[in-house]
Amino acid sequence: MMMTLGLVLSGIGWRAGPAAAAAFGVVVLLTAQIVTPADLAGGFQVLWRPFLAIVSIMLTANVARRLGILDTFARAIEPRPASRLVAFWPGVHLERHHVGGAQQ
């Protein structure tokens, strides 16, 4: 993992995304015989469900961003400069507090 992070952050002459850097790191580890193909298979058997969940979350977030769902939701709940604060919180009464007889 540290090798992948180092490759991504160093930018060793070519810009690689995290996936390309991870693939390069796996090839280096396999070539140096630090990791065996059996290790990769075992890791895949253990981690395929979390990997699938992360990919699903990333795809859902990307689709929501492209469709503008989050922007629409933010515009709906975000107060506009022309609107009054009371319209958003009708149960809250804002009053000026007096300290020592002076208005703040």
**Average pLDDT estimate for 3-25:** 70
Q: How many CB atoms within 10 Å of residue 21? A: 21
Residue 83 has pLDDT above 60, yes or no: no
pLDDT digits (tens, 9 = 90+) for 20-75: 878 888 999 999 999 999 999 999 999 999 999 999 998 998 898 898 888 888 88
Query: CB within 8 A of 18, min separation 6: which ones?
Result: 4, 8
- Domains of the chain, by residue range, sit at 1-35, 36-82
Per-residue confidence (pLDDT) for residue 18, from 0 to 100:
76
pTM over 0.75: no
